Structure 1
């Protein structure tokens, strides 16, 4: 990477650089991927002063004291937003602190993350929401808390939704925990309409899933692993959609994983129900064949499914039935992963590998849309266009080139990545947001 400051040119590798508030920066030969921008798919020089895009042109000659950024095959888009990230703090700081998690997110290309409430204590009140917001005040990556839908995420009593919304919560859901009580979800959907709240309902029927730990199918049978039928997800989604049709309101179904789930949501959208859904990166890329070898990093919720399911999920993203892609970043301590598969905790980190894994199955424009416009619109997050006069909120990346993903590419405290030793495509350079430039 080559930078110039005034007349001095120097090369820097593996750095973490924050731009000064008064610094002027020039991005050279950046290909813009932003459908809302008049410069979409054009390669331009971009001049940024005090965090605002001042000029976009074919060639811009820098003035003195301008920092010049020249990167191989540089592409930029509006900043990426991850709708499901888990950090350990408070309570599980050994997994991931908020500060380190936000740094990992920035280096992985995310200018904003929605943080799940699965901490200790659970984020189910306004004080907990304010704690998370305050911890992220000076980070280049924005933190948006998701409040628990029920008290202590126990699925019994509804949490203080309105108070949390007033303090900054952008949605409400119990992370990876289904709402078994039908009436509770019905009441939540009705109540949240008072303040235009977004309700999340994790798609899993606990009675059908039982104590399964892998997708119920050929591979689980061969490996002697208790199965989780696709039906467990699909029954819950069908129930949620019936309730939504009855109550109205706004429903988001996180991390679907089966072909039938895509079909159910497609049908609901045809009825003009206010429903969206997301899919985790690993469920778009990997199948339950990964279970061979009993690597606990492949133990995730929902489980990895079949190739038929993966194909349907990819097609669902392409045709717009699936609105959002998430890393579903979930750090787990090594002592809970370096154990027998059956007793290992579920979850994989995903921020660092998200783009390069997606880049193996989807085109760049589709990836960008599912990480920017669609999730930001659904979670009511402002989106800046890449245009003159706009605040800079961008992700810098290179969609070309392949590499093997190793622990050297991980910035998270925990190393439980499902993509270790996988060949991925493309490179994230970093972000420019809140007048801070962070590059790898």
Structure 2
């Protein structure tokens, strides 16, 4: 792959070319020259795009594709295609599958299905067998097979001692534990945020307390055991404060937030559109603003699309019976770029590389792992913009700022 990106503005903190418009030459998948007015060599393809910007490749730390078991919602092949067109060079795929990603065989199966794609697939194995929360899965074996972390997707461990053992055990091989915070007893039968809106609509609410109690418990266990913990999504102002405090104590804890909670609030549910039923639920405007501050001050490390395809049979039904989840890969950048400055957007979209023990750079001699985009276009997210097999998009009809052209990765290009 020999190409030259013409007149590309680099967005990369601490890069000497940051915010400068340059040409970038890529030879056999490696960055070979960076400068202005580079000559085009024979055999090189020129790529020019309107207001072209380039950053290190983006990472999404929480997506599900369904396959194996739920291919009607999304396949791995199409899911990775959507991710590439949405700007992601790397995605962390979680177990919302049948069978669960809880052993080497399933990991190898999914890895093989992801070969040859521009977007690299990284698997988060379940923390417990079949994600049932009763006994630990084969963590070390899955680590050896290529799992990058362990966590039961959207489930919190009722058994606190099991989380303690997991954090102790994974230290032997530098493992990372994903710990989703939601106390199921306090949550009860709630399915939207508990507050004035849910009361007016007659919907059963999930109090912020359900998240806070579980998060505080998990942090206390981490403080006792040591180890590495990632909180995949938080949704409340008080959770931001808990994470901030834990980091100030030197705990090895990182945190993410869903684009849904960062951009939207509980008022979205008033028309009973089931695409707004997500987990954690959309919270109050005060919570949303606190999450934005957490992103800006570094309390929140990464932002995820929280991409969760759901087929129409499980979405176009009564609100309380419908499944949680929204697709988000196609709209995350345009939505995020509306609420935080571009430099922060790119920082949070690239921070996931730390979990892969890599630090790609836009520098000569580095492998090309790039996302190409235009941060300044304004548009409306419509059905025609959906590339996923499932169409449950919470951002439909929302204003977007910025469009993605594609990625260059694995010595291939997807634009």
Q: TM-score, normalised by structure 1?
A: 0.93
- Give a deviation string over 1:206-256, Cα, whole Å, max 9, x none: 010001010000110111100000000000000001100110111111110
Match of 1:125 among 86, 103, 115: 103
State the 1:37 CA deviation.
2.7
Residue matched to 1:361 = 339
State the 1:437 CA deviation.
1.1
Partner of 1:272, secondary structure, is coil
- Cα distance in 1, alignment partners of residues 348 and 2 from structure 2: 31
- Cα distance in 1, alignment partners of residues 375 and 5 from structure 2: 17
- Cα distance in 1, alignment partners of residues 278 and 200 from structure 2: 19
Taking the TM superposition and a 5 Å limit, the aligned residue runs for 1:211-222 are 211-222=189-200
Taking the TM superposition and a 5 Å limit, the aligned residue runs for 1:172-183 are 172-183=150-161
Taking the TM superposition and a 5 Å limit, the aligned residue runs for 1:152-163 are 152-163=130-141
Match of 1:389 among 341, 362, 365: 365
The CA RMSD over aligned residues, in Å, is: 0.8
Contact 1:36 1:385 (8 Å CA) reproduced: no
Match of 1:60 among 33, 38, 49: 38
- Cα distance in 2, alignment partners of residues 322 and 47 from structure 1: 34
State the 1:63 CA deviation.
2.3
Task: Count residues in correspondence.
Answer: 415
Contact 1:398 1:428 (8 Å CA) reproduced: yes
Residue matched to 1:193 = 171
Please say which of residues 110-119 and 29-38 is displaced more in the overlay: 29-38
Call closer, same or farther: CA 1:381–1:99 in 2, change over 3 Å.
farther
1:420 matched to 2:396? The reply is yes
Contact 1:78 1:383 (8 Å CA) reproduced: no
Partner of 1:54, secondary structure, is strand
Q: Where in structure 1 do 4 or more consecutive aligned residues deviate above 3 Å?
A: none
Partner of 1:53, secondary structure, is strand
- Cα distance in 1, alignment partners of residues 214 and 275 from structure 2: 26
1:321 matched to 2:299? The reply is yes
Residue matched to 2:233 = 255
- Give a deviation string over 1:169-214, Cα, whole Å, max 9, x none: 0000000011010100000010010101001111100010001010
State the 1:130 CA deviation.
1.3
- Cα distance in 2, alignment partners of residues 407 and 334 from structure 1: 14
Residue matched to 1:138 = 116
Q: TM-score, normalised by structure 2?
A: 0.99
Please say which of residues 65-74 and 232-241 is displaced more in the overlay: 65-74
Residue matched to 2:147 = 169
Residue matched to 1:437 = 413
Taking the TM superposition and a 5 Å limit, the aligned residue runs for 1:294-305 are 294-305=272-283
- Give a deviation string over 1:32-69, Cα, whole Å, max 9, x none: 01124321211101111111111111111212332111
Contact 1:25 1:49 (8 Å CA) reproduced: yes
Residue matched to 2:384 = 408
**Runs of 5+ consecutive residues of structure 1 not aligned to the other structure:** 1-22
**Runs of 5+ consecutive residues of structure 2 not aligned to the other structure:** none
- Cα distance in 1, alignment partners of residues 43 and 28 from structure 2: 13
